[in-house]
Amino acid sequence: MSIRRILLNFIIMILTFTLQTTVFRVFAFGGVVPNLMLVFVTSIAFIRGDKVGLLTGFVSGFLVDIFFGAILGFYALLFMYIGFFVGKLHEVFYSQNMAIPIAIISVADFIYGFACYVLQFLLRNEFDIGYYMMNIIIPEMVYTAMVGIFYYPVVLKIHERIFDKEQRSEKKFV
């Protein structure tokens, strides 16, 4: 992982987080906001593999923790595991086909929502899973997948561009 990529990922992450907390709140549809952070982590993990995925997940989750987490480390852990497992799929599925990453983003967001419900609501005796499913988890999943359709290609393009550049400069030196 070159310095340039780390820096680039960091900048994209900060932009994503800022967009999510400011602009996307305006686009809230029925009170539900797409989870752009998750799209970012999933995309990076899917493009770059498990190690980069888990590191990106950890740092992004930590950023969410600093601002909005009740307990420092909760979202870091959750995003890290999502990054790791999606990164594992990198070797199996990597292709230019758009359908696969979008499907993975949907599943990842569903798991994220479900984990949030179980760990933060179910454990406080809020048993109405049907309500949370129909009003938060599933709408968020659909909305996030829709945003992913536009967001994933952008991340992919940026990474391909950087990769090309690195290969070219390597050739120049060798």
Partner 1 sequence: MSPIIRRTGEDFRIPSKYLLSILSVLSVILMLVTFSVERSKLGPFEGPLNAFAGVFIAPLQRGITTVGTSLKKTSDRLSEITKLLDENERLKKEIEDLKIENSKLEQDKYELTKLRELYALQDDYGNYKKIGARVTGRDSGNWFSTFTIDKGEDQGIKVDMNVLADGGLVGRVIKVGPDWATVQSIISDNSYVSGMVLSTQDILMVKGNLNKYEKGAISFTDLKDRTGAVKAGDKVVTSYISSKYLPGILIGYVYSVNDDNNNITKSGNITPAADFAHLNDVLVILDQKQIPKDGLEHKTDSND
Give min distance, CB of 100 to partner 1, in A. 21
The angle that helices 3-21 and 36-48 make with each other, rounded to 10 degrees, is: 160
CB 29 within 8 A of CB 136: no
Within residues 56-115, the interface with partner 1 by CB under 8 A covers 58, 63-64, 66-68, 70-74, 76-77, 80-81, 84, 87
Report the C-alpha gap between 101 and 58 in whole angstroms.
20
Give min distance, CB of 99 to partner 1, in A. 25
For residue 32, what are the β-bridge partners?
Answer: 29
Q: Please, which residue, 112 or 152, has the CB nearer to partner 1?
A: 112
CB 77 within 8 A of CB 86: no
Give min distance, CB of 98 to partner 1, in A. 24
CB 6 within 8 A of CB 156: no
Q: With CB under 8 A as the contact rule, which of the stretches 92-100, 125-133, 146-154 interacts with partner 1?
A: 125-133
CB 12 within 8 A of CB 43: no
Name the residues that contact partner 1, by CB under 8 A.
1-2, 5, 14-15, 17-23, 25-26, 31-33, 35-37, 48-52, 54-55, 58, 63-64, 66-68, 70-74, 76-77, 80-81, 84, 87, 116-117, 120-121, 124, 126, 128, 131-132, 135-136, 140, 166, 173-174
